[in-house]
Amino acid sequence: MEILQTAHSYLAYVVLAILFIAVANAITGLMGNRMFTLEKDFRISLFALILSHIQLILGLILFFVSSNGLAAIKELGMGGLNSAARLLAVEHPFINIIAIVLITIGWSRHKKFMEAKKKFKTIAIFYGLGLVLILSRIPWGQWFN
């Protein structure tokens, strides 16, 4: 359990970094009227998608087996959770699932376009929204302890 929690915590840094790189790459590609290449642009976006899904899977496992997730809700009820417990048990998982859904939609939609500008725009918007949502629900107090 401790190993899973540590993996989830450290992978979060990698996921945030690659999502930031993917969004920045999409914005620079859009602004610079670059071609969308398989060697760079496709792979950065795909890597961000894959890592974010792995992070989601680790998080869902933790939600169901840790004392901070489903067990806290069962024990205390929704009304019994303080703000820190509610963040970990409800807000963090729910908002991050929405974020991963947005990233997945962005990946799926970008494949439908042939024009590089539309591909970059789709990735920038959906991956960017996903990144903002993830950043909004990180338990920052625990990260820096």
pLDDT in tens, 60-104: 999 898 877 777 777 777 777 777 777 888 889 999 999 999 999
CA separation for the pair 100, 108 (Å, rounded)? 12
Question: What does the radius of gyration of the chain's CA atoms come to, in whole angstroms?
Answer: 17
Instruction: Determine the pLDDT at residue 90.
Output: 84
The predicted structure's pLDDT at residue 72: 72
pTM recorded for the entire structure: 0.90
11-25 residue pLDDT tens? 999 999 999 999 999
Burial class for 88, CB neighbours closer than 10 Å (0-12, 13-18, 19+): buried
Q: Are 45 and 22 in contact (CB under 8 A)?
A: yes
Q: What is the DSSP letter of 137?
A: T
Residue 40 · residue 21 · CB < 8 Å: no
DSSP assigned state of 68: T
Query: Helices then strands (H, E): number in the chain?
Result: 7, 0
Between vectors from CA 75 to CA 59 and to CA 137, what angle results, nearest 5°? 35
